[in-house]
Amino acid sequence: MHKKIEMIIENIEKVMIGKREVAELSIVALLAGGHVLLEDVPGVGKTMMVRALAKSVSAEFKRIQFTPDLLPSDVIGVSIYNPKTLQFEFRPGPIIGNIILADEINRTSPKTQSALLESMEESSVSVDGETIHLPKPFFVMATQNPIEYEGTYPLPEAQLDRFLMKIEMGYPTFQQEVEILRRAEKTTPIHLLEPVITIDELLALQEEVRTVYIDDSVKGYIVGLARATRTERNVYLGVSPRGTIALMRAAQAYAKMRGRDFVKPDDVQYLTPFVFGHRIILKPEARYEGVTVEHILNDILIKSDIPIKRYAER
């Protein structure tokens, strides 16, 4: 494990009990320059995870609570006329930050969703014809509740594709929940959290991720997995080329986190469900028969040839 990344994970674990995998995957997405969709029921720690990550890396944390009446200007910001200077002045919205929590993104209108997702793709926002570049790093973790769909606006496929990963939190075990109560008995642990790395160190890690070697055989493995989703009989829409790029970037970041300067096929196998899962649309008849995306991806991973020989000696 990379020393600095291990420090971040250990710091998050002071607040989040039993969520090491979620912390690792979130850091992988951050290092890869992508964004994360956290999907789970309320109260399992989605907001706390984002806040803990932001504090650990000295990042500016902003929260956007999405509601049906939220406007794009409430997210991006607005130009207001100043009678003293006789000029319009830009008042930045909560999207201008390093780590953004987009809470319950599916509860706002498609127009406001698009404003957020455009900034995720371009790392900039447009106000009155002017382009404002967002600070680096810029990382969005959006949450949505998979249970309550009344009054929500589900993200269309093209917008889901903007997220590098989709992660589920899950409930803690009995012992983990007892430990949560023990830690929260007298104080809120998040208030005691201190940064363990600087923004400059984080940006340097992001640059290092791009230098992680990925062999052509592993690139071919990634493309083969994506193409298999497009020809699967139960799949209506398979993984796009953006998805293959996302898996490659995530694999590079994961390898870096594990302290390696090259990507192994095992990295790709592990990350495939998190990167590809939300990019696949099943046919209606497949859903009716109980077929799931998880089953399809597991089947594809089992049937795909793994480039093993080149990594036997490494």
Confidence check: pLDDT of 309 > 60: no
The answer to whether 254 and 271 have CB atoms below 8 angstroms apart is yes
Helix (H/G/I), strand (E/B), else coil: 296: helix
Mean pLDDT value of segment 34-47: 86
CATH topology for the 3-203 domain: Rossmann fold (3.40.50)
Mean pLDDT value of segment 181-197: 85
Predicted local distance difference test score (pLDDT) of residue 310: 55
Q: What is the pLDDT of residues 97-117, one digit of tens each?
A: 999 999 988 888 888 888 888
Average pLDDT, the chain: 89
Predicted local distance difference test score (pLDDT) of residue 314: 47
Q: Domain ranges for the chain, please list them.
A: 3-203, 212-311
Confidence check: pLDDT of 312 > 60: no
Lowest average pLDDT, out of 11-15, 49-53, 132-136, 151-155, goes to 151-155
CA–CA distance, 209 with 256 (Å, rounded to integer): 6
pTM of the full structure: 0.90
Confidence check: pLDDT of 152 > 70: no
- For the domain covering 212-311, report its CATH number: 1.10.8.80
Confidence check: pLDDT of 47 > 90: no
Q: What is the pLDDT of residues 56-87, one digit of tens each?
A: 999 999 999 988 888 888 888 888 888 888 78
